[in-house]
Amino acid sequence: MFDYIFQLIEENKLIEARQKLIELNEVDIEQILEELPQDKMLRLFRMLPKEIAAEVFAEMDSDQQQYIVESITDHEINDILDELYMDDTVDFIEEMPANVVKRVLRNTDEATRKTINQLLNYPDDSAGSIMTTEFVDLKKEMSVAVALEHIRQTGMDKETIDTCFVISAQRKLEGEITIRKLILSAPDSLVADIMDENVKSVKTLTDKEETAYLFRKYDLISMPVVDNENRLVGIITVDDVIDVIEEENTEDFHKMAAITPSDKEYLDTGVFSLAKNRIVWLLVLMISATFTGLIIRYYEATLSQVVALTAYIPMLMGTGGNAGAQSSTMIIRSLALNEIEFRDSFLVMWKELRVGLLTAAILAIVNFARIMIFDRIQVLVALAVCASLFCIVTLAKVIGGILPIAAKRIHLDPVIMASPIITTILDAVSLFIYFAFSTSILGIA
Amino acid sequence: MFDYIFQLIEENKLIEARQKLIELNEVDIEQILEELPQDKMLRLFRMLPKEIAAEVFAEMDSDQQQYIVESITDHEINDILDELYMDDTVDFIEEMPANVVKRVLRNTDEATRKTINQLLNYPDDSAGSIMTTEFVDLKKEMSVAVALEHIRQTGMDKETIDTCFVISAQRKLEGEITIRKLILSAPDSLVADIMDENVKSVKTLTDKEETAYLFRKYDLISMPVVDNENRLVGIITVDDVIDVIEEENTEDFHKMAAITPSDKEYLDTGVFSLAKNRIVWLLVLMISATFTGLIIRYYEATLSQVVALTAYIPMLMGTGGNAGAQSSTMIIRSLALNEIEFRDSFLVMWKELRVGLLTAAILAIVNFARIMIFDRIQVLVALAVCASLFCIVTLAKVIGGILPIAAKRIHLDPVIMASPIITTILDAVSLFIYFAFSTSILGIA
């Protein structure tokens, strides 16, 4: 199908191509347009029916949106803005340069302009920034028949009518009712009598991660957003929440790998931005790794007496780091999913201690056997290595388990406590333990 | 509110407590019951109206479900099963021991039993395993009025009616129609004329991760599942998809930290399971870390000539590992979100090469300055260290960028290519580079 459309476009049969295009989902249409040279993309875009054009426009990336807005007439801009949902309009405007924003705002009426400006003002991480202002609001005193008629008259433009929210005369949120319930109820029943008063809502400034958590917890499809006086100002739909969830996860992945998070896709990010997002942490970690160098230099005399000791440093530091990263990652993830709270600290510590002792014992025994069989060094050196390994792994587990919880407690991001920061801490700890055991077991200074 | 209910229960005022409980969301009711001693939990649970009881039951963890099923009468089991959605029934049965499963199945009719058995057979990672068999199916030849009447008669039991799917006489999927469209259309129009034929569907055996991707891409709320003959057999709803997304992310986080993934929550997992999930990779990585030890032992003579070299080993290996982990994590995440494909390999390599050269240069210069100012060692040693650092970081970026794509190409999980496997590879590479530069720049053997 896609290939056939591309072929039609290639042969300049744009009318036929348009006919095929409009049968597709808007996401697919956008993917096809994205592959075309700009002039053909523009010509096809202008041939789309205006509802479809608006949906396709909402899916485009900002470069293409800007190109289109700069190439079409005010009248066409107006048509698109009329059809766009408010949250998509705001997402689009946020990315445009000032002159484009001016032109777009000139093409909207006073009320829309005011709403746009208000939405633009919500902080990036707030529920307000992902809500839309198009929703069906029912009044408590409406009958089911009146409510359905109200939905028929206003519902076509609204982002979702599957759940309608019920407000009082003062626009305060009073309850919710599903369209299903409305259809199944007697036409003369009152909305107030059949609505569900137990409705979950968020404030405009609620963190959007917290909002996503509520969607997950209560299996919601949409959720009302209220202001400080509990007046209904917008709704959030689950598709935007899924994007929030994936964004937050990407952020956590990046932070765990010591990258400053950015919300641009990899292929769209320039080399300098990528380098900038990575260099800070690399520098910090490189400098802090010099501490391990200092420790080694301090024990230079020890190492030169038993040179064999040096060969085990990477293994000890590596295993300690891995053991710690396992614990911290599990705890960080559990914290992110709200499965663990601060009150579980001792439980976690106790669990990690036991897991640590168990895994450390296995590792130490296997390693001792391996050293004795393959490396053929003195038993005492092997003992020093394995005793160190045992302590390092156990300690790594406990530290890795508790640091993220401690970080969250003092309102730091638990993720920054993950590897490689924990690894860096554990590197230094590992060396101290190793040299302590080596000097005492081998009786050197 | 919660506190008040707990107080009522404490004072054994269960009737009043029940009154308050049933005003809450089922998720909140479950959270309260979960905190109670088992006998009180059971007594309150049995006092709940049966629709609410079923919803609360679906939210419980399997230990509690089992306790309840073993304590209530067949008649009560029957009531709960009647109200439970099919996907929740299957989730519950999957976790029960054989005798409980037998008793539950005895309390269902032939048709339900057949459906349950069929659903139990879908592999854990398939779309079939998360679908439900309760949905509204409309026929093409129905009029809007008939369709709405059909929904009224059957819709109450169905998990979602926001989008209805349209089937042919042979039960083949033909299209979809939103309830909104039905309400807004003339009662005598035919479903076939107003339905959307461009409907996205998955097969029962489609990977559930792929299914989640389609939900995300097309902003879906529900999606039909068809068999190999394109017959409609179930639907998947977005709330279950969100769970899939979070599960997959948890799995990726765990794999990146070298933990064998498990779908149990941390606090519910025993010490032995935790240790088992961690020890395998720790052993593998410990053994492979001994290669770095071998390299060091091979160059023992070099190190004993210039002992100062040893002190920089952890810094070089650490920085190389961090630089590689940054690249691999970014690429792995982009692959997971389908932002990067195999055809982008050269783009990625070229980008990582430039980012690598840029960051490597900065790190090498800063490090050279730091060494000369603080460590006061020979310039040649500093040169050897910084030349190595430059090559290691550049190489780490390119390897870290390309390995995950290569892994995906040969159908391996890109995540296993992340740290710490990449770190282990880079550790060995780093050492070789370091010793090569040291011996040639310092003119030692």
- Determine contact, residues A56/A30, Cβ cutoff 8 Å: yes
Cβ contacts (< 8 Å) between B23 and chain A: which residues? 197-198
A169 CB within 8 Å of a chain B CB: no
Identify the pLDDT of residue A419: 57
- The Cα A77–Cα A54 span in angstroms is 10
Distances (CA, A) of B438 to A400, B304, B380, B385, B386: 35, 13, 9, 8, 10
- Determine contact, residues B225/B233, Cβ cutoff 8 Å: yes
Cβ contacts (< 8 Å) between A351 and chain B: which residues? 271, 274
A181 CB within 8 Å of a chain B CB: no
Buried b (16+ CB within 10 A) or exposed e, A288-320: bbbbbbebbbebeebbeebbbbbbbbbbbbbbb
**CA neighbor of B114 nearest in space, from B125, B105, B122:** B105
B138-157 residues touching A, CB cutoff 8 A: 148, 151-152, 155-156
- The Cα A5–Cα A8 span in angstroms is 5
Cβ contacts (< 8 Å) between A243 and chain B: which residues? 216
Q: Is the pLDDT of residue B158 over 70?
A: no
- Determine contact, residues B173/B165, Cβ cutoff 8 Å: yes
- The Cα B217–Cα B211 span in angstroms is 10
The answer to whether A282 contacts B323, with C-beta atoms less than 8 Å apart, is: yes
Angle between helix axes B62-71 and B38-47 (nearest 10 degrees) is: 70
- Determine contact, residues A177/A194, Cβ cutoff 8 Å: yes
Q: Which of A328, A340, A359 sits opposite B275 (nearest CB)?
A: A359
Cβ contacts (< 8 Å) between A393 and chain B: which residues? 282
What would the pLDDT profile of A48-97 be if each residue is shown by its tens digit?
Answer: 998 899 989 999 988 889 999 889 988 888 888 888 888 888 888 888 88
Identify the pLDDT of residue B304: 80
- Residue A155's pLDDT band, with cuts at 50, 70 and 90, is low
The answer to whether B370 contacts A290, with C-beta atoms less than 8 Å apart, is: yes
Q: Phi and psi at residue A124, in whole multiples of 5°? A: -55, -30
CA torsion, points B44, B48, B53, B55, in degrees to nearest 10? -110
Cβ contacts (< 8 Å) between B275 and chain A: which residues? 355, 358-359, 362
What would the pLDDT profile of A157-182 be if each residue is shown by its tens digit?
Answer: 666 667 889 999 889 999 999 887 88
Q: Is B12 exposed, middle or buried (0-12, 13-18, 19+ CB in 10 A)?
A: exposed
Identify the pLDDT of residue A114: 86
Identify the pLDDT of residue B232: 93
Identify the pLDDT of residue B358: 96
The answer to whether B183 contacts A424, with C-beta atoms less than 8 Å apart, is: no
Cβ contacts (< 8 Å) between B348 and chain A: which residues? 266
Identify the pLDDT of residue B115: 86
Q: Is the pLDDT of residue A332 over 70?
A: yes
Transcribe B329-365 into DSSP letters: HHHHHHHHTT---GGGHHHHHHHHHHHHHHHHHHHHH
State the amino acid at position B77 in one-letter form. I
Q: How far is B169 from chain A, CA to nearest CA, in Å?
A: 24
Strand partners, B235: B132, B224
Q: How far is B106 from chain A, CA to nearest CA, in Å?
A: 30
- Residue A349's pLDDT band, with cuts at 50, 70 and 90, is very high
Buried b (16+ CB within 10 A) or exposed e, A121-137: ebeebbbbbbbbbbbbb
Which value, in Å, is the radius of gyration of the alpha carbons in chain B? 30
Q: How far is B297 from chain A, CA to nearest CA, in Å?
A: 6
- Determine contact, residues A155/B183, Cβ cutoff 8 Å: yes
- The Cα B234–Cα B225 span in angstroms is 5
- The Cα A203–Cα A237 span in angstroms is 15
Q: Is the pLDDT of residue B413 over 90?
A: no
Distances (CA, A) of B162 to A181, B132, B156, B158, B219: 11, 15, 12, 10, 14
Which value, in Å, is the radius of gyration of the alpha carbons in chain A? 30
The answer to whether A311 contacts B300, with C-beta atoms less than 8 Å apart, is: yes
Bond before A261 cis per omega within 30 degrees: no
Q: Phi and psi at residue B211, in whole multiples of 5°? A: -60, -45
Identify the pLDDT of residue A161: 65
Q: Mean pLDDT lowest for which of A283-292, B110-119, B157-166?
A: B157-166
Distances (CA, A) of A421 to A284, A286, B320: 10, 11, 15
Mean pLDDT of A135-157: 85
- The Cα A107–Cα A46 span in angstroms is 18
- The Cα A14–Cα A18 span in angstroms is 6
Percent of chain A predicted with pLDDT > 70 = 97
Identify the pLDDT of residue B386: 95
A-B contacts at Cβ under 8 angstroms:
320
Residues 6+ away with beta carbon under 8 Å from B275: A355, A358, A359, A362
Q: Is A13 exposed, middle or buried (0-12, 13-18, 19+ CB in 10 A)?
A: middle
Q: Distance between terminal CA atoms of chain B?
A: 77
A280 CB within 8 Å of a chain B CB: no
Q: Is the pLDDT of residue A241 over 90?
A: yes
The whole-angstrom distance between residue B390's C-alpha and the CA centroid of its chain comes to 37
Q: How many CA atoms lie within 13 A of B120 on its CB side?
A: 15
Identify the pLDDT of residue A397: 95
Q: Which of A241, A259, A337 sits opposite B326 (nearest CB)?
A: A259
Mean pLDDT score across all residues of chain A: 88
Q: Is the pLDDT of residue B420 over 80?
A: no
